[in-house]
Amino acid sequence: MRKGYLLLSICLCMFHFALGQRSSFIDKMGDWFQTQNDTAYIEDHTKDLTTRFFGSRKYNYYDIVDRKRKTEVMYRPNTPFNVGFGFNYKFIGINVAFNLPFINSTDRYGKTKALDLQAHYYLRKLVVDFYGQRYKGYYIANSRGILNGFDEKGPLPVRPDIRNLNIGMSVQYVFNDKRFSYRAAYLQNEYQKKSAGSFLIGGELFTARMKGDSSLIPRNITTQDFINGINYSGTSIFSAAANAGYAYTLVYKQHFFLTLSLSGSLGGNYTHLFRDEENDLRKFGVQINNTVRASIGYNSSKYFAGIHYVNLTTRSQSPIEHTFQTIGAGNFRVSVVRRFGLKRELF
Nearest to 226 by CA among 216, 235, 236: 216
What is d(CA 287, CA 270) in angstroms, rounded to the nearest whole number?
A: 9
- Residue 233 placed within a domain: yes
pLDDT digit string (tens) for 65-88? 999 999 999 999 999 889 999 999
Distance CA 55, CA 207 (A): 29
Residue 275 has pLDDT above 60, yes or no: yes
Q: Does any domain span residue 346?
A: no
Residue 286 pLDDT greater than 50, yes or no: yes
Terminal-residue alpha carbon distance, the chain: 50
Q: Rounded to the nearest 5°, which phi and psi values hold at 66?
A: -110, 100
Average pLDDT along the chain? 89
CATH of residue 258's domain is 2.40.128
> Is the pLDDT confidence value at 30 over 60?
no
Give the range among 15-24, 42-51, 185-194, 287-296 with minimum mean pLDDT. Answer: 15-24
Residue 216 lies in a domain: yes
C-alpha–C-alpha distance, residues 310 and 129, integer Å: 10
Number of structural domains the chain divides into: 1
Residue 19 domain-assigned (yes or no): no
Residues of the domain holding 149: 45-340
Residue 82 and residue 96: Cα distance in Å, rounded?
Answer: 10
More reliable by pLDDT, 101 or 42: 42
* Residue 27 counted as domain residue: no
Asked whether residue 347 is assigned to any structural domain, the reply reads no
Residue 300 lies in a domain: yes
* 5 in a structural domain: no
